[in-house]
A and B are shown apart, each in its own frame.
Chain A
Amino acid sequence: MRTIVFLSLAVLGASGGELSVSHAMKQLGELHHFSPRSVINFLGRALRVKWLWTGIVLLALGFFSLLALLSWADVSFVIPATAMGYVTGALGAKFLLGERLTPLRWAGIVLVAAGVALLSLS
C-alpha cells in the first residue's frame, strides 16, 4: 500500500510538474531571439509565472517520493514502473492542456514508454 501511494506520488508529481512548466511557458509565448541576453530575460519572466512555481513544487514532490520509494522498494520494479509517467503525461497533455494527440503520436508515446521500461529492467 505504502509502495503504491509513493509510486503514484512519484509518477503524478513528475508528470504534473512538467505539465505545469509547459503551461507556464505557453503563457510566456514563443521565444524569438536566442542571444544569451534574451534567453536570460525570458527565464527571468518565466520565474514570475505562478504555474512555473507550481511545477517546481510538484517536480520536487515527485523527486523526493521517488527517493523515499527507492529506500525500500526494488530498483528493478520502481524505475520501469515510473515509465508510466509517459502515459500519464500524455493524458495530462490531452485533458489538462488540451493538446491534440493523433493516433500516430499515441503509438509513439506507448513505444517509448515500453522501451524505457525495458531498458531499466535489464
Chain B
Amino acid sequence: MTRNLEWKTHALLVPIVLFAACGNVLLGKGMKQMGNAPRLSVVALGTIFLKAFGNVWIWLGIGSLLVFLVAFMVVLSWADYSFVMPVSAASYALVPLLSRWLLDERVNPMRWAGVSLICIGVALVTRTPASGGERA
C-alpha cells in the first residue's frame, strides 16, 4: 500500500465520520420537532412522513447522510470493508463528545466508557494497513 493511498483513505474517513454524526444529530433534531405519533396507525405515520419533508433540519440531515454515503462508497473502491466499517463507528463516539463540548450536556459514565472503547478500537484498527486487497 503506497503512502498516497494511505493518505487518501484517512482524508476520506474524516468526512465519513463527521457527516454520519451530523446527519444523525440533524435527523434526530428534525424528528423531535415532528412530535410523537398519537397512535401507530398508517395515517398517523403518513402524516408525520409528509410533515418531515417540510422540515429544514430533516433536509440538512438527509444531505449530510448523502455526503457520507458517497464518501463511504468512494473509499470502499480501494480500502478494506473490515477497515472502513469499524473506523466509521467513530461517528457514534463523536455524538456524545459534541453534545458535551457544544451543548454542555451531561454525559453519564457508561457513555464515557462506550466512547473510550470505540476510540481505542478505532486506534487499533487504524494501525493496520487500510487495504490488504480482496482475493475474490
- On A, residues with C-beta under 8 Å from B are 18-19, 21-23, 25-26, 28-31, 39, 42-43, 46, 71, 86, 89-90, 92-94, 96-102, 104-105, 107-122
Contact = CB atoms under 8 A, between A and B. Distances in A.
Nearest to B83: A105
B71 to A, nearest CB: 10
Interface of B: 5, 40, 70, 73-74, 76-78, 80-86, 89, 92-93, 96, 108, 110-111, 113-125, 127-128, 132-136
B55 to A, nearest CB: 20
B39 to A, nearest CB: 12
Contacts of B110: 118, 121-122
A29 B136 CA distance: 13
A115 B73 contact: no
A119 B82 contact: no
A25 B76 CA distance: 6
A23 B134 CA distance: 9
